Amino acid sequence: MASPPNSSLNVLIVGNGIAGPVLAMALQKVTQYRITLVDGGSEDAAPIGGGVAISPNGMKALKFIGADQIVLEEGGSPEQFTVCRGDLNTPLVVEQIRDAFVEKYGYSVYGILRQTLCGRLRALAKERGIDMRYGLKLTNVEESEGHVQAQFANGQTMTADLLIACDGLHSVARRYVMGDEAGPRFSGASLIIGVANLTPEEEKTAELKGFTAFLGSSTMFLCIPVDKNGTWMWANGFPTVDPAGGEAEWNKGDHTLSHYTQLCSTKVEGWKAVAPKVVLSKAFRAIPLGIYDRPPSSKWYKGRVVLCGDAVHPTTPVGGQGAQMAMESAVILARLLAENGPSDETFTKYTELRRPRTDTVTQNARFALINLFAEGLRQKIRDTVLWLFGGFFMRSVFVGPLVVKELKRIVETSEIVKEDDSSWPKPNIVGKQELEIRVGSDHISFHTAKIGSLMDVSESEDPEGLRVFYYLVQDIKIKPI
- Per-residue pLDDT tens over the stretch 12-67: 999 999 999 999 999 999 999 999 999 999 988 776 778 999 999 999 999 999 99
pLDDT value at residue 65: 96
pLDDT value at residue 5: 60
pLDDT value at residue 409: 73
Question: For 367-399, how does the pLDDT look when each residue is reduced to its tens digit (9 = 90+)?
Answer: 888 888 888 888 888 888 888 777 766 665 444
Q: 381 versus 150: which is more confidently predicted?
A: 150
Angle separating helix axes 344-372 and 322-340, nearest 10 degrees: 170
Q: Which of helix, strand or coil describes residue 47?
A: coil
Q: 469 versus 65: which is more confidently predicted?
A: 65
Angle separating helix axes 322-340 and 56-64, nearest 10 degrees: 40
Angle separating helix axes 401-414 and 344-372, nearest 10 degrees: 140
Please state the pTM of the whole predicted model: 0.80
pLDDT value at residue 24: 98
Q: Looking at the predicted structure, is the pLDDT value of residue 282 above 90?
A: yes
Question: For 114-148, how does the pLDDT look when each residue is reduced to its tens digit (9 = 90+)?
Answer: 999 999 999 999 999 999 999 999 999 999 888 99
Q: Looking at the predicted structure, is the pLDDT value of residue 454 above 90?
A: no
Q: What is the spatial order of strands in the sheet that 10-14 belongs to?
A: 131-133, 34-38, 10-14, 162-165, 305-307, 301-302
Q: Which residues contact 145 (CB under 8 A, 6 or more apart)?
A: none
Q: Which of 283-292, 371-380, 417-426 has the highest mean pLDDT?
A: 283-292
Question: For 219-272, how does the pLDDT look when each residue is reduced to its tens digit (9 = 90+)?
Answer: 999 999 999 999 999 999 999 988 887 667 777 777 899 999 999 999 999 999
pLDDT value at residue 399: 47
Q: 459 versus 448: which is more confidently predicted?
A: 448
pLDDT value at residue 383: 86
CA distance 379 to 376: 5
pLDDT value at residue 255: 84
Phi, psi of 250 (to 5 degrees): -80, -10
Q: Which of 66-75, 394-403, 442-451 has the highest mean pLDDT?
A: 66-75
- The percent of residues in the chain predicted with pLDDT above 70, rounded, is 90
Q: Which residues contact 265 (CB under 8 A, 6 or more apart)?
A: 276, 277, 280
pLDDT value at residue 246: 65
Q: In whole numbers, what is the pLDDT of the chain averaged over residues?
A: 88
Q: Looking at the predicted structure, is the pLDDT value of residue 464 above 50?
A: yes
**Residue 360 CB coordination number (10 Å):** 14
Question: For 293-335, how does the pLDDT look when each residue is reduced to its tens digit (9 = 90+)?
Answer: 999 999 999 999 999 999 999 999 887 789 999 999 999 999 9
